[in-house]
Amino acid sequence: MNKVLTFPDSQAHPLSIRAKALVFNDPVSLDILNTTELIAPSDATVLIIGDTGTGKELIARHVHNQSGRSGPFVAVNCGAFSENLIEAELFGHEAGAFTGAQGQRQGWFEAAQHGTLFLDEIGDLPLPMQVKLLRVLQERQVVRLGSRRPIDIDVRLVAATNVDLVSAVEAGHFRADLYYRLNIATINLPPLRERPGDIIPLARHFVDSYRAKLHLGPIEFSSNARQALISYGWAGNIRELENVIHYALIVCRDGVIRSADLRIKERVPVLNSSRPASVVEEDDGCRLSKALKDMFDENRDNLFEQVEETLVRQAFEHCDNNQVRTARLLGISRNILRAQLKRFGLLASGKSDVPDGVDEEATVLRLPENEAVAYPG
């Protein structure tokens, strides 16, 4: 039986983009599991690197469960809070520390005392907060907003990111000293397409998860369906696979999921492309180079600013004016993006810094086994 990792509340967030299950059947996954369980008993800071939907939080929870720490597992999404809010969320505040701070409140570091604090999307942390986080990691103390009294903490930090932090450091968007402080024990979680041996076991897991809800009997995969699942690119990783299986269970007949039930033909595959990825990247680079050369030949004024504005404007429109997604797409922090948006007249100076779709107060969900999650709600 393959080892399966799931959330204790896996059905509580049906619209979440998080991967809700991990199996370890592929040799690559087995190596990841072995590395995770070797790292877990130590107190070393862990950095998990992987695309969205690959299961980073599940790995973080497994690190905590195997660590032997007596405190809770607390998960915080760094991209869910505005720059003005995140310091109070992480470090807490005293009454009257800022407008609206009517009472004393502990931060997430204190909430995770003797346990594990999982900082997801660490690459979205604003630069000023990176300095403060580094100091907390070095001194093992937090100071609440509005207070001068340091509070000792015993917290194991696990961070995760889907961006290349080395490139972010080179671009000046992430502090090198914080990167080196986080990059002690690194777990690289590859996309699902690079773990093909996990695809069918995961598909069977999701069949079992949804079958009872849909009042279905035993379900099998046809050979064509299995081949289609393995050969597809899964750009959306495990969450996309879950959605495909859910739909297939709704439309399949006679207890058999066929390739036609998977609804993946109209999706854009990553694998089985008629051209190698290197050729596609080369063609993209050639088109960009040609467009720039044409503009050079035209001797345009303020060319750099025009290119910069076009890039920001098109990315913002592509992401439906969502700041968090746009910053992630461009590989820059949200505060840098906001400055650019205001500079090009795409964001009014008085507009709230809170990301689109995120409430100013995050919902805290208390989970079984002393777990807590801070995500927008």
pTM score: 0.68
Q: What is the DSSP letter of 344?
A: T
> CB of 203 within 8 A of CB of 63?
no
The answer on pLDDT for 183 being more than 50 is yes
Residue 374: predicted pLDDT: 55
Q: Supply the pLDDT for residue 93.
A: 74
Asked if the domains at 40-190+358-375 and 277-343 fall in one CATH topology, the answer is: no
Does position 96 have pLDDT exceeding 80, yes or no?
Answer: no
What number is the average pLDDT over the span 50-72? 94
What local confidence, expressed as pLDDT, does residue 352 receive?
47
User: pLDDT tens-digit profile of 201-245?
Assistant: 999 999 998 998 888 999 999 999 999 999 999 999 999 999 999
Residue 151 bridge partners (DSSP): 142
Beta strands in 68-178 (DSSP E): 73-77, 116-120, 141-143, 150-152, 156-161
Domain positions in the chain: 40-190+358-375, 277-343
Q: What angle do CA 7, 8, 12 make, to 5 degrees?
A: 80
User: What's the confidence (pLDDT) of residue 157?
Assistant: 96
Q: Which of 44-53, 311-320, 327-336, 366-375 has the lowest mean pLDDT?
A: 366-375
Q: What is the dihedral of CA 331, 59, 16, 338, to 10 degrees?
A: -20
Per DSSP, the three-state class of 22 is strand
Mean of pLDDT over the chain = 82
Mean pLDDT of 98-116: 82
Q: For domain 40-190+358-375, which CATH number applies: 3.40.1080.10, 3.30.70.20, 3.40.50.300, 3.10.310.10? A: 3.40.50.300
**Alpha-carbon dihedral 35, 115, 169, 313, rounded to 10 degrees:** 110
Contact present, 136 and 178 (Cβ < 8 Å): no
Superfamily of domain 277-343 in CATH is Homeodomain-like (1.10.10.60)
pLDDT higher than 80, residue 46? yes
For the chain, list the strands marked E by DSSP.
4-6, 21-23, 46-50, 73-77, 116-120, 141-143, 150-152, 156-161, 185-189, 220-221, 256-257, 363-367, 371-375
How far is 126 from 134, CA to CA, in rounded Å? 12
